[in-house]
Amino acid sequence: MDTKLNAATAISQLLSPLNEDQLEIFASILIRTELKKNELLFKEGQISDQIGYVYKGMVRQFYYKNNRELTEHFACNGSMFICIESFLRQKPTPLKVEAIEPSVVYGIPYHPLEELSKEYYEIGLLYRKMLEASLILSQRKADSIRFESARERYERLMKNNPEIIRRAPLSQIASLLEMTPETLSRVRAGTL
């Protein structure tokens, strides 16, 4: 069932367990948003004031560079996303967050999370685990682009995130992997 407490429990189980009382306190700050396919949660130039948890559906973070749309990250059922610099510095983001399919997202707002982190050690630990997960994901992506071939990047995505392969448009997958759609087609066909 889709409730704030269920979302809080799922986030806690994903990263760092909270006791029942803390789960209810954490759940009280969550912001539920339903998104239609192609609807934006955050726009370029907006302050990303929430860490997102995808309860149902799929979203992507992307930006434009040299008139090209570049996908930074996908998040689907049971995963999180953050525009980390905008969130931590409370400054406008160059990223957009868009629903790839109808989605339910629970936002964890910056200021209430900061306050709860000061008051409850375990919620502070959960917050730290959210940031750690984001930083590790960013580092892995950077390392993948630097050190892996196009085939290796695709195979890693297939192994670690098969939902993305099944649910996202190929042009966006190619963008995520920093290759052209033509290169992705050759990789998938086994000719590269």
Mean pLDDT of the chain: 95
What is the band of 2 on the pLDDT scale with cuts at 50, 70, 90?
Answer: confident
Q: What local confidence, expressed as pLDDT, does residue 77 receive? A: 95
Statement: residue 172 has pLDDT above 90? yes
Q: What's the pLDDT tens digit per position in 41-57?
A: 999 999 999 999 999 99
Q: What's the pLDDT tens digit per position in 111-166?
A: 999 999 999 999 999 999 999 999 999 999 999 999 999 999 999 999 999 999 99
Strand-pairing partners, residue 89, are none
Residue 82 near residue 49, CB atoms below 8 Å: no
Q: What is the largest CA-CA distance in the chain?
A: 56
In three-state secondary structure terms, 93 is coil
Q: What local confidence, expressed as pLDDT, does residue 67 receive? A: 87
172 contact partners, CB below 8 Å, separation of at least 6: 60, 62, 71, 74, 100
Q: What's the pLDDT tens digit per position in 70-103?
A: 999 999 999 999 999 999 999 999 999 999 999 9
Q: What local confidence, expressed as pLDDT, does residue 192 receive? A: 66
96-109 vs 40-42, strand pairing mode: antiparallel
